[in-house]
C-alpha cells in the first residue's frame, strides 16, 4: 500500500511538472538558472555569504573558502547578488520543487550542478533537492558541499545524485567515511580543467559516483 501511494504521489508531481509553463517556473524559483562557462550543464547560484559552514571558512586563511571565487568578479555586481537572494528566498515556495524539476528537465545536456555559488541551507532544502532529482531521473546531478551534517542523510539520496563533501582546508585529505568527496590541492590534481582552458569539456568525473575523490587544483 505504501509503495502504491508513493508511485501515485510521484505520478501526480510529474504530471504537474509537465503542465507548468517555463515562465511560471522561472518566476517561482526567483529567476533563471545559471550557466557556468566552465561546465557542460546548468546550475543554480545562491549567495556565498549565506553559506553556513563556508561563511565561517571564508575568514580562515588556508581554507578552501578563503578568497572564494563567488565573492569577487561578476558575483559582486548588485544585479547578480539581488538575483541570488531572490533564488534563496524562493526555496520556501511550495512549488519550488516542481518548478526546478521543470527547468532542469527542459535543459540539455543530461548533467546538472547544484550551486555554482552557495550551499545547502538546511535539511528542508536538502530534502527538496532530493525531490527535484527524483523528478528529473534522466539527469545526473552533482552537489558539492561543505556541510558535514548531510552525511547523516545519505540513505535517502536519489541514485542519480552524487554528493561530494569538500575537505575544508587546502591540501587536506577528505574524510574517508564519505562515499564521494573532493579536495583542493596545490599539486597532484586529478581534475583535468587546468590543462584544458579551465573547462570540463568531455570530463564528467564530478558526476561519477564510482570516483571516490576528485582533486581540484588550487586557483
pLDDT digits (tens, 9 = 90+) for 164-210: 999 999 999 999 999 999 999 999 999 999 999 999 999 999 999 99
Name the least confident of 13-17, 80-84, 92-96, 130-134: 13-17
User: 11 lies in a domain?
Assistant: no
Number of domains in the chain: 1
The residue range of the domain holding 134 is: 19-217
Measured distance CA(1)–CA(208) in Å, rounded: 34
Q: What is the pLDDT of residue 19?
A: 65
Q: How far does CA 157 lie from the centroid of its chain? A: 14
User: 207 lies in a domain?
Assistant: yes
pLDDT-derived band at 126, boundaries 50, 70, 90: very high
User: 82 lies in a domain?
Assistant: yes
Q: Residue 5 above 50 pLDDT?
A: no
* β-bridge mates for residue 113, sequence order: 43, 142
User: 3 lies in a domain?
Assistant: no
**Beta strand spans in the chain (E):** 42-45, 111-117, 140-145, 161-166, 181-185, 213-217
- Note the helical H segments in 20-115: 22-29, 54-57, 78-90, 96-105
User: 14 lies in a domain?
Assistant: no
Amino acid at each position: 500500500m505504501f509503495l502504491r501511494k508513493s508511485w501515485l504521489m510521484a505520478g501526480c508531481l510529474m504530471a504537474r511538472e509537465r503542465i507548468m509553463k517555463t515562465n511560471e517556473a522561472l518566476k517561482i524559483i526567483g529567476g533563471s538558472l545559471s550557466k557556468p562557462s566552465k561546465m557542460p550543464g546548468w546550475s543554480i547560484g545562491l549567495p556565498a555569504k549565506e553559506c553556513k559552514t563556508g561563511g565561517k571558512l571564508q575568514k580562515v586563511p588556508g581554507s578552501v573558502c578563503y578568497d572564494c571565487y563567488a565573492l569577487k568578479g561578476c558575483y559582486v555586481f548588485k544585479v547578480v547578488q539581488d538575483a541570488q537572494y531572490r533564488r534563496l528566498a524562493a526555496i520556501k515556495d511550495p512549488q519550488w520543487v516542481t518548478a526546478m524539476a521543470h527547468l532542469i528537465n527542459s535543459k540539455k545536456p543530461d548533467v546538472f550542478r547544484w550551486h555554482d555559488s552557495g550551499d545547502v541551507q538546511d535539511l528542508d532544502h536538502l530534502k527538496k533537492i532530493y525531490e527535484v532529482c527524483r523528478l528529473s531521473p534522466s539527469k545526473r546531478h552533482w552537489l558539492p558541499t561543505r556541510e558535514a551534517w548531510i552525511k547523516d542523510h545519505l540513505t535517502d539520496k536519489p541514485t542519480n545524485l552524487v554528493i561530494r563533501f569538500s575537505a575544508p582546508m587546502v591540501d587536506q585529505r577528505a574524510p574517508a567515511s564519505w562515499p564521494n568527496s573532493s579536495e583542493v590541492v596545490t599539486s597532484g590534481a586529478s581534475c583535468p580543467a587546468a590543462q584544458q582552458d579551465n573547462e570540463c569539456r568531455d570530463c564528467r568525473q564530478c558526476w561519477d559516483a564510482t570516483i571516490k575523490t576528485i582533486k581540484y587544483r588550487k586557483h
